[in-house]
Amino acid sequence: MIISTGTASGKSLAYLTPAIASCLDGGTVLYLTPTKALAADQLRGLRELRITQVRAACFDGDTPFEERTWVRQHANYVLTNPDMLHRSILPRHAQWSSFFRRLRLVVVDECHGYRGVFGSHVAQILRRLRRACARYNAHPTFLLASATASEPGAFAMRLTGLEMDEVTVDASPKGSTTIALWEPPLTELRGEGGAPVRRTATAEAADLLADLVLADVRTLAFVRSRRGAETVALSARAKLADVAFSISPPFPTPSSTTSSPATSSAATPSSGPSSPSASPSRPSSGANPLDPITTTTPTNPITTPNPTPQTDPTNPTPQTDPTNPTPQADPTNPTSQADPRTADRPIDPATDKHQQFPLHPSEPPNGPLTAHGPLTWALPDDPSHAAELADLPNKIAAYRAGYLAEDRRLLEKALRAGTIMGLATTNALELGVDVSGLDAVLIAGWPGTRASLWQQAGRAGRDGQDALAVLIARDDPLDTYLVHHPQALFGQPVEAIVLDPGNPYVLGPHLCAAAAEIPLTEDDLPIFGTTTSKVLEDLVAQGLLRKRPAGWFWTRRERATDLADIRGGGGAPIQVVESSTGRLLGSVDEPSAHTTVHTGAIYLHQGETFLVEVLDLEAGVALVSSANPDYTTFARDITDISILSTERSHPLGPGTLHFGEVEVTRQVVSYLMRRLQSGEVLGDEPLELPPRTLRTRAVWWTLPASAVAPLAEAGIDLGGAAHAAEHASIGLLPLFATCDRWDIGGVSTELHADTGLLTVFVYDGHEGGAGFAERGYARATDWLTATREAIMSCECERGCPSCIQSPKCGNGNEPLDKRGAIRLLNTLLTPQ
């Protein structure tokens, strides 16, 4: 069974009920989640139920070794993740025999996160789990929970290999969510080819996060990288520190008196709190002067607090703040006018908080300005409130994988309690963690899928209240397309989840792991898919498995599970070592090493930033040193591609669309340095790395000479037009294929050796393919139409990172022809 409904729709209750019933009936439950944070949150919820018969425990990398034996022997509700299932539980299944014999239910939570190559690995792990259960005569029910997904039953069947029923009707009550699409402005900076550079999404997110926290809005900011999350939190804290300093006033002496609410004149009555044209009356109630007052500015709907000048009791003439021409009421002068922004506000009985009212649009701004408008903050009338102002920066923190488990739990608790008002996080808090009570969510950059967008936006308003979600566009073709074409987001079904369990480069290592767990037999082959027999022959030929009459056996001394890097691309790992101490920081799979730990690369590990001093591929080590640069790096490569076989083809306009197997030769030739905050290009440093060969799958289209001749006659650079169309199509494919642009690559040429025609390729960046190019082939017309629209809607003249430039282009984004790309795609999409 798969339950595929929206955020906070009750999916947890739907699987908790049968899970707890299974435990009460003497059975066991295995709960799988993509992240440790979600497992810890689920464990907290289970313990709050106080059902003594449910012995729940997490079994993951944070579990102390002394507790793991107890979990194996006594827990009947085990919460873990695919990584631990792959590396620890299944290889030691005999130690879990008592648990497996009584296994009634397997819960696969947030399963929409299992896509692409990672999802293909998880699919094979679940097949190994089914096989281990059968060894102990257990046949558990698989219950999957997912955010809204297209064709959830078909996806769940591919993931588990089992027939599936699906539940997709969501009748849960929800408040309304306002979605804002936010495009950062262009800056004075210039990038490659003189292209304009936009302000970065992380810089915008930091400003908005600070503004929202000042307005007492509990906010979660999703940032795509660990480093980005840290940067947003640090920048927002710095802005709050500046604001706190600028609005901290000198406090009056005890003998001083200030304006009394009883003598302040009331604001002009309005038609009601919702009136857009008048400020409502605010009766006296002894309001806390630190409570924020909502403001509205023409340029930004997000509101922030702001100081108001105090009255000098020794001077009957009211003091005027030069930034605020409206004087305060003086109790000794009945003719003075009160600023309605500082009048006390009543207590809302529903929330036990001070009511907030919008300002009249004509009211002048006052006080210090933030990046998104003026602040309106009633000054404290008590020195004790100075500590609250000074504590403003501490209301923002960062949250990501790599923190200690106890630190992550403390942050989650502080966010729920309201001690922390703003949290910058990676997608570690996207999946199911209950952080109810949030008012707003900021999403810095397109999260990859509509499902992820709605999942992240759904973190706000989880108690049924109205909420705000802001998608902040990066300087990227897809982000630019979405903010200019909101119809691509709203009213559209979410994507189908793409994975390919039959990929031989994924299946092979898991067959070895399965044989090491329990020798493979002929009866096991259907569990792993139709390509199993052929892959087994290859594994025997490579000496990884030995064929005997009883089946296939793993005969090597090393661990078979080490062959599969389920979150990487496979291959012998490169060890990342700190040169000054010899400390092993981690490892990077060999295919990724050329682009992530090349000499000069910026490498991030658990919040620490390192500079790669040297990459030694022969020794399998990258030496790094601690650093704190103000730039980030992007590897750039040149690519050659040859067609091995064409599986499918069909006409597309005057041209032809193809899908098949290709061989890609890539060589990283340099790396680009961009300033973190501004995106400014600082330099392009050359590298000398050997080429790598990749056998994968691709989608490509060709145009005959008769179709491109008129374009050449019109003076269009055909090579530059094809190159620009390739970059933009790579940027837009994630909208249709549920992938990241870094999962795919491309090649374009005016005359390809294998086709003899103008050809543009887009290929999967993983051995054997991951299903992305195949999805592009199936949605080619929609995909390429969106590509053309993305280029046309960009406001630049000759091309920029928002439309046709790519940060990983090995040719330095030359040649590129924006106008030619539009003409070329128009030709391709013209019906014949």
pLDDT (tens digit, 9 = 90+) per residue, 581-601?
A: 888 887 787 777 888 899 999
pLDDT single digits (tens) 746-769: 999 999 999 999 999 999 988 888
Does residue 131 register a pLDDT over 90?
Answer: yes
If residue 271 lies in a helix (H) or strand (E), which one and from where to where? none
Q: How does residue 437 score in pLDDT terms, banded at 50, 70 and 90?
A: low
494-498, 518-522, 682-686: which is most confident: 518-522
pLDDT of 259 > 50? The answer is: no
Query: How do strand 422-425 and strand 219-223 relate by DSSP bridges?
Result: parallel
Confidence of residue 648 (pLDDT cuts 50, 70, 90): very high
The pLDDT tens digits of the residues spanning 759-799 come to: 999 999 888 887 889 989 999 999 999 999 999 988 888 88
Give strand ranges (E) for 45-140: 56-58, 77-80, 103-108
Is 571 in contact with 618 (CB distance < 8 Å)?
A: no
Can you read off the two tokens belonging to residue 269? Answer: 């009555």
CA distance 116 to 506: 11
**How high is the pLDDT of residue 282?**
30
Contact 477, 741 (CB under 8 A): no
pLDDT above 90 (res 246): no
| pLDDT tens-place string over residues 652-677 | 999 999 999 999 998 999 998 988 76
Beta-strand pair 440-444/422-425: unpaired
Pairwise pLDDT comparison (246 vs 319), residue with the higher score: 246
Q: Is 626 left (phi over 0), alpha (psi -120 to 50) or beta?
A: beta
Question: What mean pLDDT is predicted for residues 380-395?
Answer: 65
pLDDT for the residue numbered 41: 83
Residue 434 is predicted with a pLDDT of 57
pLDDT score for 606: 56
At 31, the amino acid letter reads: Y
Confidence (pLDDT) at 601: 92
Question: Binning pLDDT at 50, 70 and 90, where does residue 458 land?
Answer: confident
DSSP string, 112-134: GG--HHHHHHHHHHHHHHHHHHH
Banded model confidence at residue 81, pLDDT cuts 50, 70, 90: very high
Would you place residue 299 in the very low, low, confident or very high pLDDT band (cuts 50, 70, 90)? very low
As beta bridge partners, residue 77 has 29, 56
In percent, the amount of the chain with pLDDT more than 70 equals: 79
pLDDT, average across residues 212-221 = 91
pLDDT digits (tens, 9 = 90+) for 158-198: 999 999 999 998 887 778 889 999 999 888 877 777 778 88
Predicted local distance difference test score (pLDDT) of residue 324: 40
Residue 462 has a pLDDT of 65
What was the pLDDT predicted at 298? 34
Looking at the chain, the whole-number percentage of residues with pLDDT higher than 90 is: 42
Average pLDDT of the chain is: 79
Amino acid at 400: R
CA pseudo-torsion sign 605, 610, 612, 618 = negative
Q: What is the pLDDT of residue 326?
A: 38
Mean pLDDT calculated for residue range 134-144:
96
**Mean pLDDT on 594-614:** 85
pLDDT tier at 224, thresholds 50, 70, 90:
confident
Query: Which structure tokens are listed for 516?
Result: 């090491």
pLDDT score, position 416: 75
The pLDDT of 503-522, averaged and rounded, is 93
- Give the mean pLDDT of 695-722: 94
- Average pLDDT in the 523-527 region? 92
Q: What angle do CA 154, 157, 160 make, to 5 degrees?
A: 150
SS3 content of the chain, % helix, strand, coil (to 5): 35, 25, 40
pLDDT at 138 > cutoff 90: yes
Q: Which residue has the higher pLDDT, 315 or 509?
A: 509
Terminal Cα-to-Cα distance of the chain (whole angstroms): 45
Mean pLDDT is lowest, of 147-156, 283-292, 603-612, for: 283-292
Report the pLDDT value the prediction gives residue 457, as an integer from 0 to 100.
Answer: 86
Q: Categorize the per-residue pLDDT at 364 as very low, low, confident or very high, splitting at 50, 70 and 90.
A: very low
Confidence of residue 296 (pLDDT cuts 50, 70, 90): very low
